[in-house]
Amino acid sequence: MAKIVIIGAGSGFGRRLSMDILAREALRQGSISLVDINEESARNVGQWAAALVRQLGAPVEVKWTTDRREVLEGADYVVVAISVGGRAYGGSPYYEEVMIPSEFGVEQSVADTVGVGGVFRALRTIPEMLRICRDMEELCPDALMLNYTNPMAMLCWAMNEASSIEVVGLCHSVQGTAHQLATYIAKPYEEMTYWVAGINHMGWFLRLEWRGEDAYPLLYEASEDPETRARDAVRFEIFRQFGYFVTESSGHMSEYVPYFRKRPELLEEFNLQARRPPKEAPPSRWNWQDPDFLAEVRGEKPIELKTSREYASGIINAIETGEPFSFNGNVPNNGSIVNLPEECVVEVPCFADSGGVHVCVVGELPTQLAALNLSNIMVQDLAVQAALEGDKEKAIHACMLDPLTAAVCSLGEIRQMCERLFEAERHLLDYLD
Amino acid sequence: MAKIVIIGAGSGFGRRLSMDILAREALRQGSISLVDINEESARNVGQWAAALVRQLGAPVEVKWTTDRREVLEGADYVVVAISVGGRAYGGSPYYEEVMIPSEFGVEQSVADTVGVGGVFRALRTIPEMLRICRDMEELCPDALMLNYTNPMAMLCWAMNEASSIEVVGLCHSVQGTAHQLATYIAKPYEEMTYWVAGINHMGWFLRLEWRGEDAYPLLYEASEDPETRARDAVRFEIFRQFGYFVTESSGHMSEYVPYFRKRPELLEEFNLQARRPPKEAPPSRWNWQDPDFLAEVRGEKPIELKTSREYASGIINAIETGEPFSFNGNVPNNGSIVNLPEECVVEVPCFADSGGVHVCVVGELPTQLAALNLSNIMVQDLAVQAALEGDKEKAIHACMLDPLTAAVCSLGEIRQMCERLFEAERHLLDYLD
Amino acid sequence: MAKIVIIGAGSGFGRRLSMDILAREALRQGSISLVDINEESARNVGQWAAALVRQLGAPVEVKWTTDRREVLEGADYVVVAISVGGRAYGGSPYYEEVMIPSEFGVEQSVADTVGVGGVFRALRTIPEMLRICRDMEELCPDALMLNYTNPMAMLCWAMNEASSIEVVGLCHSVQGTAHQLATYIAKPYEEMTYWVAGINHMGWFLRLEWRGEDAYPLLYEASEDPETRARDAVRFEIFRQFGYFVTESSGHMSEYVPYFRKRPELLEEFNLQARRPPKEAPPSRWNWQDPDFLAEVRGEKPIELKTSREYASGIINAIETGEPFSFNGNVPNNGSIVNLPEECVVEVPCFADSGGVHVCVVGELPTQLAALNLSNIMVQDLAVQAALEGDKEKAIHACMLDPLTAAVCSLGEIRQMCERLFEAERHLLDYLD
Amino acid sequence: MAKIVIIGAGSGFGRRLSMDILAREALRQGSISLVDINEESARNVGQWAAALVRQLGAPVEVKWTTDRREVLEGADYVVVAISVGGRAYGGSPYYEEVMIPSEFGVEQSVADTVGVGGVFRALRTIPEMLRICRDMEELCPDALMLNYTNPMAMLCWAMNEASSIEVVGLCHSVQGTAHQLATYIAKPYEEMTYWVAGINHMGWFLRLEWRGEDAYPLLYEASEDPETRARDAVRFEIFRQFGYFVTESSGHMSEYVPYFRKRPELLEEFNLQARRPPKEAPPSRWNWQDPDFLAEVRGEKPIELKTSREYASGIINAIETGEPFSFNGNVPNNGSIVNLPEECVVEVPCFADSGGVHVCVVGELPTQLAALNLSNIMVQDLAVQAALEGDKEKAIHACMLDPLTAAVCSLGEIRQMCERLFEAERHLLDYLD
């Protein structure tokens, strides 16, 4: 009889996770509440989910609202997938977070993880995440937060420090990459085993096995084919140079390290582009007027039961039924990876059962991988401190330590770039001194 | 197609685990090899297992031998349940390990975990465990050892320090106690959830839930009934005084702490006895001439498929099939319990899947529980160092630090007691300086 | 121009430390303020110190008061040597802290460090220490507190957790024992070197050298002489059984471990007595009417400049002049001794210079010594938590884990004993739940 | 009666440290042995030291030799200041370590600490340092090694891992910088106090005080003056951007971070040059034919007693006399700085007395400083592992992680550069796989 709340339900996660949850028989009871500050989005997703519930004949209560406090009371699970201050990847302030660094020669690709874009996204998002935590502490202190919002590591870190709410951060990059690797070596995914650890978007396949045997030789062989290699140029380069495959796409990975985006010819060599987001973004990313969608909502067209690879429904199912479920979660390190800081947020193997979410001990990462993770973790650490203490100088230090930014700019340039962004996001960042 | 070897197969574990393994459909292939230094035991268990395989019509090869090296090559799993120097709980040297301390007023109950008995059992067993490890390093370096031999923590600790073989120590006390607790509170076991951590034989039910709610109030209530309380007097006392239930029986637990066995009237109050083992023990614990057993071996009587609560078959099944299995294992701490030493062996939640055995992060134990565990861990630490370095003085220090021994004797008496035991086990302990 | 405040100046530390300070030329300036809640004591010590200042012709301002807040403002050093609720070693509540355990067979010798006496002394003293800290946070937040009050480790631990004031705990047991050891081996103290670490009253001479060579063989030889051995029977026994000499006297040490005080014949064997404090103690320990003292105060008799071995004046001198001074201080562990908990208070080598007090890295203690320390540290930990959280149950757990108490009593008896003491000190412990 | 050996005595350290030692009265006994593989250098330094001893009339034995094994037996202190494979800063292989990276756009300034130059210097020097350790383990296992050779952190780290010899690494950058800071703020050095910690060449003035008050505001003010700032442009920039002053000169510091040397205009802005070492270097750096020097050797001209700021003689004096001496030493971290790895080599406050060298607990570095240190420590870690395991790939990873190299090159370029250097130093690096 789980009570599930999805905040930021208009984001795509609303429909995807509702579907995943309702696809599991054991979860067809209790309630799903869909929250979005955009009333139109909340209503549309809500009506669609209600239609699905009707279609399944399941005794699940569906609610939608623009005010999370109306539905948080007594919640068991709170999924969060929000964007603060504008659309996640278009218009202000995202536009400035990409274009101002670009003026200084820093050409980010996604700008939502670390880097100047990641740091400012954290600075504008953390206060709202903490407000959600405060509401949860009051209305559902024992609920588990499943966070999908980026920058994953910094948001979870801040909440771990500043709230008593249990947070597990979820992403699809581990399982997605595992599927890609199966494709690269042309083996069935079901026959593969892996053990992945590191930080979100920069996790490492410490073990990759096909039928119980090391599959890295197969992957190396596959990478000898220029066509395969070109499909994932940065990650194959990382794999061949450092010995391990990484969990986020070549585009993403290229901006977490200093090697790929500092010179135009390198961008070209690795099939990379400079991000150019739209200056204005539509208020909602979805076309709620799509005839198929409308037909589904009206019950005139059956909704196809198609589940995703997201972990959320598996975790909820494990806790509700006791059937163990294993996944990679973003959790406080606490010694799981011994050569990363105790208090940082790592993405490591976890499993869930009726006792909740349990984190596995990983041990030591190979030094070169720990070094690459650390170069990002130090940025996260300073950005989180900046947000929690309202300390602008620490935010600037965070950007100064970002590997790509530091590879391109001088300290003076980075400070200037930060000042430009503080100015551009003044309305969101006035809590900084 | 797992290749399984059971060393010490005449011990009862041979039949029990063979049965558990063969009861799982997915494991009805590969081979089971039964090793015992007693030829009669090896043969009897082997023939019985072969009869079971025939009865099931399973393509499993069954072998038996007195020489483990004949069957270790290429093994995937090696179960170890041995006794070194005599029968596990009767005759020499066990007899002396109980009776010499008794002369000094130390009345042990089982004498196989810590205490003077546990320390000397470790001193005489560790060298043989390491010889098994050496054989495995040579013949099956990637095999997983599942150890059932006591003293669990000291043996595993010594092997972790001195061998590259992966060892997981297994015991039935966690699951056994969980069943008992369900009985005490009169609830179905299936509706209970628990989270247990600590050290072998002194693990703590950190969380005990019935239908998702704290079940400790129910247990407290149950403990108000004098009859229930008398059934498990020491553990209920520990529970009421320190706030948590412990994993080994009242008899065992009473000898790990200084509170219960130092005065005759306390023994009586808590329904405890002084151990009085037989001076001579039969060469084998089993009656291989039992007519039912013989009929089973000859295939004249069908063997009933009755499985135990032992974890071994569940772990093997999880690794072979990928179906997750959760259990409590004895593994190197490595930060799982932050307020116990990094290098000690803890018994903590683990789970197994196709990637092997994974250890969960536990965090901090309540201080009083950590203190009770530490009082035993320091004994283990010194005993393990004594065995690995061949240092007699450290063995004496181990006994001096044992809580019960220290509560009863002076330092001089403990040293004298140790000297008596070194003398009695000279033939087994000549590797000590 | 140091501003020094001594709180509890009537305790003997007032005169001794005033003398030590004024004996150092570099410190003959600034001010010394003597505080005691007993007006008579404060005035007498104050007048005596003023007489000494006049005799030296030093430009030092001397003040005395019963109200510390009058003199704390802007202080640089605050020495604390207080007793809360009664005289330190006579009358209530000390009387009950010794005699109630005695009824249960626990015969303490000093009862001011760990044990039931130490725990209850901590419980009644910590609140006042924290009130002093609050006053200092307000009036002299940068002052260094030099604490001489017992139980040293628990008080310092509590202040470290709950106040921003920098505290260094000081004792004379290290330097005192070093002098004794020189006597035992009949060598000049000046030719000896030592390196001592552990916890207060249970520090270990990890290295003892005479003219750069290991002096432990000489000490062992000395201990062969029955007369020498009888002078320090417990410590020589510890030395011979565990390999290292300890810093507190035989009387003290005997109550920190389970080996010496649990049976009458052991008390006798090691020349130990059961403590029998006076039921009523005089309001002040000093005879302020002593004619010599009065003559000194009136300036009719010159005060002899005789310094003690206390570290306080050396530390103040080092900070004021920059001349390095090395000593053993009680400070938060923070990894100095790696096999003791991070947050406990250890007594380790420190040095002071113009930059303040610096703590040395010690590394690992021999396991048997760490085990003995830990058996006391767990008691301290629980007692400190009890005081800071107002949690009676933790105070009881602290007593249950005390090695001597646990060697003598059952859990039920310990709980009963604690309840008796809570009752006896109700007026001092009403802050516990 | 100290026995002192100086290995690499022709390096300048031979004369400087002999002078420092002989300038201290307490050290004018025992022996000084001067070792250099260049016979001419050894003889010249030896004769000069002998002349000084004669002039002082001190009972000190002076020896010189090309074979360290002749003089190591029973040594108390072994100073090491060597260069392996060529002159320290001229000719091959130094020439290639600067010029090959330069071809790839990496313009180092000193190339002896981290960076590609530092890594290869470590790879060629570590084996010889370990050979010295082996000789010491055999001939003077209790001697203290005082290492002056660079790259300091990597060499000490390798020796800590692979030898039982106690090593303290010494540098003059801390005390040198402290003198410069006194000049910048125009205050007498004697009135300043500082507390410095970090890693060699990148230590941080965590506290800088003048007469007990924070002197950083004065320094900030001084940095407002363009002329002062230009004298130390990189360090003032680091100070103003990150908040703390660093211990190595602007030239050095510029190559440890990615901010200053990646673009020509930045070199200019910060008054930096690209290093252009001589392709051929003279066999000895000293002109032994200098008439003044010859006159001193012949005793015709008195040698002026002029001491340096090097720590070595102060440490030896402290250990021999017991007079405490405080300094910054390069030692295994072991928790001194909690947010740097346990096993790395840190440069932290130490003090020496008759008990030897003691390391102070530092605690936590400000995050931005720890991040800068870590970016170098990860390089060191991999280079040390490469040398100890003979693993070429780890050496390449070390270079890939170097902040400046990573800011300039792609991974492919770095690998190519490394291969060029392996080729150029084949004769020195044939121990790598």
Q: Do A324 and B360 touch (CB under 8 A)?
A: no
- Please give the pLDDT value at position A160: 98
Nearest Cα neighbor of A76 from A11, A156, A141 is A141
How far apart CA B390 and CA D395 sit, in angstroms, is: 39
Provide mean pLDDT across the span A142-161: 98
- Please give the pLDDT value at position C281: 87
How far apart CA C172 and CA C175 sit, in angstroms, is: 6
Provide mean pLDDT across the span C295-303: 94
Annotated catalytic residue, options D172, D201, D252, D427:
D172
Instruction: List the single best residue of C253, C375, C377, C416 to mutate versus B (max B Cβ within 10 A).
Output: C375
Is the CB of residue A375 less than 8 Å away from at least one CB of chain B?
no
- Of the pLDDT bands very low, low, confident and very high (cuts 50, 70, 90), residue D288 is confident
- Please give the pLDDT value at position D125: 98
Q: In chain A, pLDDT over 70 holds for what percent of residues?
A: 100
- Of the pLDDT bands very low, low, confident and very high (cuts 50, 70, 90), residue D433 is confident
Which H or E element spans position C31? strand C31-35
Q: Residue B209, SS3? A: strand
Per mean pLDDT, which range of A417-431, C190-204, C287-301, D13-27 is the poorest? C287-301
Residue of A nearest to D398 (CA): A368
- Please give the pLDDT value at position A282: 80
Please determine, for residue A285, whether its predicted confidence score (pLDDT) is greater than 90. no
Provide mean pLDDT across the span C87-111: 97
Q: Which chains touch B (3 or more CB pairs under 8 A)?
A: A, C
Is the CB of residue D26 less than 8 Å away from at least one CB of chain C?
no
Q: Do chains D and B touch (3 or more CB pairs under 8 A)?
A: no
- Please give the pLDDT value at position C320: 96
Please determine, for residue A321, whether its predicted confidence score (pLDDT) is greater than 90. yes
Global pTM reads 0.96
Considering only the beta carbons, identify the residue of A209, A354, A361 that sits closest to B335: A361
Instruction: List the single best residue of D174, D360, D362, D365 to mutate versus C (max C Cβ within 10 A).
Output: D360
Residues of A carrying an active site annotation: 172
What tokens were used for D5? 């050996």
Strands C356-359 and C345-353: antiparallel
Is the CB of residue B392 less than 8 Å away from at least one CB of chain A?
no
Q: In chain C, pLDDT over 90 holds for what percent of residues?
A: 97
**What's the pLDDT tens digit per position in D179-194?**
999 999 999 999 999 9
Q: Which chains touch A (3 or more CB pairs under 8 A)?
A: B, D
If DSSP states are collapsed to H, E and C, what string results for D293-325? HHHHHHCCCCCCCCCCCCCHHHHHHHHHHCCCE
**What's the pLDDT tens digit per position in A290-302?**
999 999 999 999 9
Instruction: List the single best residue of A410, A413, A414 to mutate versus D (max D Cβ within 10 A).
Output: A410
Provide mean pLDDT across the span C104-112: 97
B172 classed as catalytic: yes
Per mean pLDDT, which range of A321-325, C194-198, D364-368 is the poorest? A321-325
Please determine, for residue C1, whether its predicted confidence score (pLDDT) is greater than 80. no
Q: Give the ipTM of the model, two decimals please.
A: 0.97
Predicted confidence pLDDT, tens digits, chain B (433 residues): 799 999 999 988 999 999 999 999 999 999 999 999 999 999 999 999 999 999 999 999 999 999 999 999 999 999 999 999 999 999 999 999 999 999 999 999 999 999 999 999 999 999 999 999 999 999 999 999 999 999 999 999 999 999 999 999 999 999 999 999 999 999 999 999 999 999 999 999 999 999 999 999 999 999 999 999 999 999 999 999 999 999 999 999 999 999 999 999 999 999 999 999 999 988 777 788 899 999 999 999 999 999 999 999 999 999 999 999 999 999 999 999 999 999 999 999 999 999 999 999 999 999 999 999 999 999 999 999 999 999 999 999 999 999 999 999 999 999 999 999 999 999 999 999 8
Chain C residues with CB under 8 Å of D335 CB are: 334-336, 338, 361
Which H or E element spans position B167? strand B166-169
What tokens were used for C359? 């703590």
Is the CB of residue D360 less than 8 Å away from at least one CB of chain C?
yes
Provide mean pLDDT across the span D397-407: 98
Q: Residue B282, SS3? A: coil
How far apart CA A407 and CA A258 sit, in angstroms, is: 6
Annotated catalytic residue, options B172, B252, B358, B427:
B172
Q: What does the angle CA D414 – CA D416 – CA D417 come to, to the nearest 5 degrees?
A: 65
**What's the pLDDT tens digit per position in B63-75?**
999 999 999 999 9
Q: Residue A262, SS3? A: coil
Nearest Cα neighbor of B196 from B261, B245, B138, B128 is B245
Please determine, for residue C285, whether its predicted confidence score (pLDDT) is greater than 80. no
Q: Do A258 and D262 touch (CB under 8 A)?
A: no
Considering only the beta carbons, identify the residue of A242, A258, A415 that sits closest to D407: A258
**What's the pLDDT tens digit per position in B339-364?**
999 999 999 999 999 999 999 999 99
Provide mean pLDDT across the span C187-198: 97
What does chain D come to in residues? 433
Q: What is the mean pLDDT of chain A?
A: 96
- Of the pLDDT bands very low, low, confident and very high (cuts 50, 70, 90), residue C375 is very high
**What's the pLDDT tens digit per position in D208-246?**
999 999 999 999 999 999 999 999 999 999 999 999 999
DSSP string, A331-355: EE-TTSBTTS-TTSEEEEEEEEETT
Return the biggest CA–CA distance within chain A.
Answer: 63
Q: In chain C, pLDDT over 70 holds for what percent of residues?
A: 100
Please determine, for residue D406, whether its predicted confidence score (pLDDT) is greater than 90. yes
Nearest Cα neighbor of A311 from A340, A331, A288, A336 is A331
Site of tokens 């043996």: B155
- Please give the pLDDT value at position D152: 98
Q: In chain A, pLDDT over 90 holds for what percent of residues?
A: 97
Q: Do D258 and A258 touch (CB under 8 A)?
A: yes
If DSSP states are collapsed to H, E and C, what string results for D342-371? CCCEEEEEEEEECCEEEEECCECCCHHHHH
CA atoms within 13 A on the CB side of C12: 10
**What's the pLDDT tens digit per position in D7-55?**
999 988 999 999 999 999 999 999 999 999 999 999 999 999 999 999 9
**What's the pLDDT tens digit per position in A364-402?**
999 999 999 999 999 999 999 999 999 999 999 999 999
- Of the pLDDT bands very low, low, confident and very high (cuts 50, 70, 90), residue D281 is confident
Q: Do D212 and C354 touch (CB under 8 A)?
A: yes
Q: What is the mean pLDDT of chain D?
A: 96
- Please give the pLDDT value at position C286: 77
- Of the pLDDT bands very low, low, confident and very high (cuts 50, 70, 90), residue A286 is confident
- Chain A from 209 to 238: CB within 8 A of any B CB: 209, 212
Q: Residue B168, SS3? A: strand
How far apart CA D123 and CA B204 sit, in angstroms, is: 51
**What's the pLDDT tens digit per position in A62-107?**
999 999 999 999 999 999 999 999 999 999 999 999 999 999 999 9
Q: What burial class does residue D141 get, using C-beta atoms within 10 Å of its C-beta: 0-12 exposed, 13-18 middle, 19+ buried? A: exposed
Nearest Cα neighbor of D246 from D209, D200, D188, D213 is D200
How far apart CA D332 and CA D157 sit, in angstroms, is: 7
Chain C residues with CB under 8 Å of B246 CB are: none
Burial D267-303 (b: 16+ CB within 10 A, else e): beebebeebebeeebeeeebebeeeebeebbeeeeeb
CB B381 within 8 A of CB B222: no
How far apart CA B108 and CA B104 sit, in angstroms, is: 11
Chain A residues with CB under 8 Å of B360 CB are: 351, 358-361
Chain A residues with CB under 8 Å of D266 CB are: 410
What tokens were used for B339? 């307020």
Strands C166-169 and D325-332: unpaired
- Please give the pLDDT value at position B395: 98
- Please give the pLDDT value at position A167: 98
What tokens were used for C224? 């062969």
Q: Do chains B and C touch (3 or more CB pairs under 8 A)?
A: yes
Counting other chains too, the contacts that B188-197 makes at CB distance below 8 Å and 24 or more residues apart are B193/A322, B193/A354, B193/A355, B194/A355, B195/A355, B195/B349, B196/B247, B196/B328, B196/B347, B196/B349, B197/B328, B197/B336, B197/B337, B197/B346, B197/B347, B197/B348, B197/B349, B197/B362, B197/B365
Q: Do D354 and C193 touch (CB under 8 A)?
A: yes
Q: Residue A374, SS3? A: helix
- Please give the pLDDT value at position A25: 95
Please determine, for residue C39, whether its predicted confidence score (pLDDT) is greater than 90. yes
Residues with Cβ within 8 Å of residue C26, at least 6 apart in sequence: C317, C320, C321
- Alpha carbon C155 to its chain centroid, in Å, reads 10
